Amino acid sequence: MANWPASPAVIGKSIPRLDGLLKASGKAKYPSDVRPEGTLFGVMLYSPYGHAKVKSIDLSAAEKMPGVKAVHAIAKPGTELRYHGDDIAAVAAETEEQARDAIRAIKVEYEVLPHVVTEAQSMAEGAPQVFPGGNVRKGPAAIKGKPEDALAKAEVTAEGTYSVPLITHVCLEPHGLTVMFEGQDKIVAWASTQNVSGVAGDLATLFDLPRANVTVYTDYMGGGFGSKFNADVWGKTAAQLSKTAGGRPVKMFLDRVQEHLAAGNRPGATAHIKVGANRDGKIVAMIAEAHGNGGLGGVGRLTLPYIYTVPNTQVSIANVLTNFGNQRAMRAPGSPQSCLLTEAAMDDLAEKLGMDPLEFRLKNLDGNRFQAIYEAEIAMGAELIGWRAKRKPRGQNGAGPIKHGLGMALHTWGGGAQQDKKVSCTINPDGSVELRSATQDIGTGARTVLAIIAAELLGLQPTDIISNIGNSTFPPGQASGGSTTTPSMSAPCYDAVTKARNALFAKVAPALGNAKPADLSLKEGQLLVSGKPAMSWKDACRKIGVSPISEVGSFQPGLTSVGVGGCQFAEVAVDVETGMVKVKKIVAIQDSGLIIDKLTWESQVYGGVIMGLNYGLFEEQVVDPTTGRMLNPDMEWYKLAGASDIPEIIVRAYEPDEVKARGVIGVGEPPTISTAAAIGNAVTNAIGVRVSEWPMTPRNVLNALATASREGRA
C-alpha cells in the first residue's frame, strides 16, 4: 500500500496554477477560440414552440444561400419536438452571419401541440402528456420503522412545504466544438468538454471509425458543472457538416439562448415534510412527499432526510415531466435540493422546540460517519460567524425595517477515485519531465495538481514539470465529474513518477561508486546519496543515456478515499419593506482529506460558495405557461451575482492529521451544496417567518411576510 510523503515539500502548499498567467492574460486558447484555416461556422435551427410536430421541412432555399457549404436535417417530417429549443437542422457557412441567414431560409411547417411547462400544468388532471405513460412518475414510498406512529407520539412536530425552482448551468463558454475530417477516416476536434475520451468515443461510434482515428483536444475549457460529457447533437451534427463540406473544419457552439434551453438544467424540487422530535431535541420521525421537474427528465436524485439519521421515515418522490430540455448533472447532482429541503425542516423543528438550531444539529449527529468532523467544523464555523454573540431567536432581530439573521446547514459528498485511470511519466536526458493523461481541467487545477505530485517525488518545483492533459490519445484519464478527477488521477500519477524515479536511480547508481538505488534520494533539485548531495538533477538525468525513461502508472491503494463532510454559515440583512436580501458574510468549513494544492483548494471552495449564493438568491427559470417558452434565456434576466453581491467569504480547511491520513478526496462539488440552505435559514431567522420558496428574491420574501400577516403569524 502506497503512502503520501510524511513531510512534504510542496504538497499542501499554496502553489499558483501553472496555466494561471496564460488564462489571466488571455493567451490561453479555449476550444471556442480555435479557428483552423478554412473554418466554417455552424448554426443550429431549433424549435420556437414548447411542443410541436414537424409536418414538413424544406432545406432547398438554405442550400442556395451565399456562403453555405453544408446543410443537415436533424428532424424529419413526423418528428416530435418536445420543448422550446429542440433541434431541427443545422447549416455550415463561410461566416456566422451567412449561416444565420441560411437558417432563417429553412422552411418548416409545424403542427403545434399542447404543452406543459410548469409543474402545475403537468400535474393537472387531463394534462397533455410529455411522454406516453403520464407526466407524474411516482415511485413506491421508502419506509423505515413506523413513521406514522412515531410522529403521533412525538412531543414536538413541525410541518412545512419547501421548494426550489429549476435552474440552468449558464456555462461561461457555451457547449460546442470545432471539428474537422482529415481524409475520409480521421477526425480532429477541439471540444469544450469535461470528457475528452467520451467525446472521441461518441464521434468514432457515429462514423464507425476506430477509436484511435479520433483525437479530441481540450487544453482549457470555460465551465461545464456536469453538463459537458458527450459530443451531443450539436457536436455530432458539426462533424457531419464537416464531412459533407469535404472535411473543412466546422465551428459549432451554441448561442446563449440555446445554452439555457437545450444544454441541461438542475431540476427543481418541492417537498411537504412532517418531522417530529422529543423535547430533548432528538428527531424521531419524518414523513416527506416530494416531487420535482427537470424538464424531460424529472427530478432526478433526491435524498431525504439528508445528513441526519432518522429512525422512522416515509419518503415518496415523484418525477414530474415537462416540455423543457432534459436535466443534466449539475455540481453535486441532487444534493443542493436535498440539503435545502431537509435543513429548512430541521430549522423549523428547532424553532418549535425553542432550541438553538446549532445545538439541535449537534444532538442529531449520533451514528453519522462524519460526526466528529461535523462537530469540529461546526465549532470552527460558529466562532468565525459570531454565532453565540450575534444570533437572536426568530422575530427578535430589532426594530426598524432592516433585520439581521444567521443561518447554517451541513452537507456531505463522495468524491472518491475511479481505479482504471493511467498517467505516463517521462524523464528526458536533458532533465525535463513530462506527464500525460487523457483527462482535462474543468477548473479544478488538474494540470497543476499532477505537476505538484511529480515535483514532490522528484525533488523539483511544479514549474519544472510539463503537465500535458486534454488530449484523448494520451493514457486513459478520468472524466471531470463527481469530484473524482483529483483522487482518480493522483494515485496513478504518484505511481508513474515513483516508477520513473526508481528507474532513474537504477541507471544512475552504477556511476556513483558503491551506491545502490536504495541509497539515492532527490531534494531541492539535487540527487542525494545516503542523504548527502552528489550531483544536480540535470547531471543525474544526463547519465540515463540517449533514451528517455518512460513509465505508466495506475491506481495504488492507500492514496485516496471517499466521503467528506462540511458546514456553512450565512449572515444576512433583509429589508422587510422591499424584500431585498443582502448576504453579509459566509463561512465555509470543509473536509477533503489530503490537500494537494491549498491555493487551488481554496479557489474551489470559494467558487462553490458563489455558485451556492446564486442558487440561494437569484437563479430561476421563468417560463410562459401560455406559449411554452422560457422567458429569461439570456444573461440579462437570468440573474447571477455581480461583484457587489459577493459577501465576505471565509474559507477554512478541516485537516487534522487523521483527516489527512485518509488521502486525496475530491472537493469540486461539496462546497456548493449547503450555501443556499444556510442563506434561506438566515433569512427566515432575520424576518421571523419561514420563506419556503427559493431563491430569496424580494417577491418570495414579501410573499412569506404577507402570508404570515394574513394568518396572524407576524
Prior bond to 336 cis, omega within 30? Answer: no
Distances, alpha carbon 199 to alpha carbons 438, 471, 631, in Å: 12, 11, 31
Q: Read off the pLDDT band of 164 (50, 70, 90).
A: very high
Name the burial class of residue 388, with classes exposed (0-12), middle (13-18) and buried (19+) by CB atoms within 10 angstroms of its CB: exposed
DSSP SS3 for 623: strand
Mean pLDDT of 693-713: 93
The number of residues making up the chain comes to 714
For position 714, what pLDDT does the model report?
Answer: 65
Residues 430, 431, 432, 437: is their CA dihedral positive or negative? positive
What are the residue ranges spanned by the domains of the chain?
Answer: 20-28+417-553, 265-415+561-710
- CA 75-105-178 angle, 5° bins: 65
DSSP 368-437: -TTHHHHHHHHHHHHHHHTHHHH---TT-S-SSSEEEEEEEEEEEE-----SS--EEEEE-TTS-EEEE-
The grid cell for 697 is: 428574491
- Measured N-to-C along each axis, helices 675-687 and 598-617 cross at an angle, to the nearest 10 degrees, of 50
DSSP 441-458: -SSS-HHHHHHHHHHHHH
pLDDT tens figures, 228-283: 999 999 999 999 999 999 999 999 999 999 999 999 999 999 999 999 999 999 99
What's this model's pTM, rounded to 2 decimal places?
Answer: 0.97
Burial per residue of 436-465, b for 16 or more beta-carbon CB atoms within 10 angstroms, e otherwise: bbbbbbbbbbbbbbbbbbbbbbbbbebebb
Whole-angstrom distance, CA of residue 351 vs CA of residue 345: 10
Return all residues near 375 (Cβ < 8 A) that are at least 6 apart: 362, 365
For position 67, what pLDDT does the model report?
Answer: 98
pLDDT tens figures, 467-512: 999 999 999 999 999 999 999 999 999 999 999 999 999 999 999 9
For position 386, what pLDDT does the model report?
Answer: 98
Distances, alpha carbon 454 to alpha carbons 443, 480, 501, in Å: 20, 21, 10
For position 514, what pLDDT does the model report?
Answer: 86
Q: Read off the pLDDT band of 39 (50, 70, 90).
A: very high
Number of H helices, E strands in the chain: 19, 29
- Measured N-to-C along each axis, helices 335-353 and 675-687 cross at an angle, to the nearest 10 degrees, of 30
Residue type, 355: M
20-28+417-553 maps to which CATH number?
3.30.365.10
The grid cell for 327 is: 436535466
pLDDT > 90: percent of the chain: 96
pLDDT tens figures, 550-564: 999 999 999 999 999
pLDDT exceeds 90 at position 713:
no
Asked if residue 535 lies in contact with residue 524, where contact means CB atoms within 8 angstroms, the answer is no
For position 305, what pLDDT does the model report?
Answer: 97
pLDDT > 70: percent of the chain: 100
Asked if residue 709 lies in contact with residue 645, where contact means CB atoms within 8 angstroms, the answer is no
Neighbouring-strand partners of residue 221:
none
Reference 225, options 85, 338, 328; nearest CA is 328
- Give the residue carrying C-alpha cell 430533548: 280
Mean pLDDT of 400-415: 97
Q: Both ends of the chain: CA-CA distance in Å?
A: 61
pLDDT exceeds 70 at position 14:
yes
pLDDT exceeds 90 at position 399:
no
pLDDT exceeds 70 at position 572:
yes
Mean pLDDT of 323-339: 97
Residue type, 175: H
For position 709, what pLDDT does the model report?
Answer: 85
For position 431, what pLDDT does the model report?
Answer: 97
Reference 218, options 420, 26, 481, 443; nearest CA is 443
Q: Read off the pLDDT band of 397 (50, 70, 90).
A: confident
Asked if residue 427 lies in contact with residue 502, where contact means CB atoms within 8 angstroms, the answer is no
For position 710, what pLDDT does the model report?
Answer: 85
Two domains, one topology: 20-28+417-553 and 265-415+561-710: yes
Phi-psi domain of 315 (left: phi exceeds 0; alpha: psi -120 through 50; beta: other): beta
Mean pLDDT of 299-324: 96
Reference 501, options 5, 13, 17; nearest CA is 5
Neighbouring-strand partners of residue 179:
189, 250
Mean pLDDT of 689-711: 95
Whole-angstrom distance, CA of residue 287 vs CA of residue 143: 9
Q: Read off the pLDDT band of 513 (50, 70, 90).
A: confident
The grid cell for 86 is: 429542440
- 265-415+561-710 maps to CATH 3.30.365.10: yes
The grid cell for 540 is: 543525474
DSSP 510-569: GGSTT--GGGEEEETTEEEETTEEEEEHHHHHHTT-SSPEEEEE---TTSB---EEEEEE
C-beta neighbour count of 552 within 10 angstroms:
17
Reference 109, options 48, 37, 182, 26; nearest CA is 48
pLDDT tens figures, 186-240: 999 999 999 999 999 999 999 999 999 999 999 999 999 999 999 999 999 999 9
The grid cell for 452 is: 505538484
Q: Read off the pLDDT band of 711 (50, 70, 90).
A: confident
Distances, alpha carbon 494 to alpha carbons 55, 429, 530, in Å: 58, 21, 23
pLDDT exceeds 80 at position 712:
no
Pairing status of strand 402-413 against strand 142-144: unpaired
Whole-angstrom distance, CA of residue 567 vs CA of residue 588: 6
pLDDT tens figures, 64-82: 999 999 999 999 999 999 9
For position 367, what pLDDT does the model report?
Answer: 87
pLDDT tens figures, 107-120: 999 999 999 999 99
For position 396, what pLDDT does the model report?
Answer: 86
Return all residues near 195 (Cβ < 8 A) that are at least 6 apart: 228, 229, 230, 440, 479, 480, 481
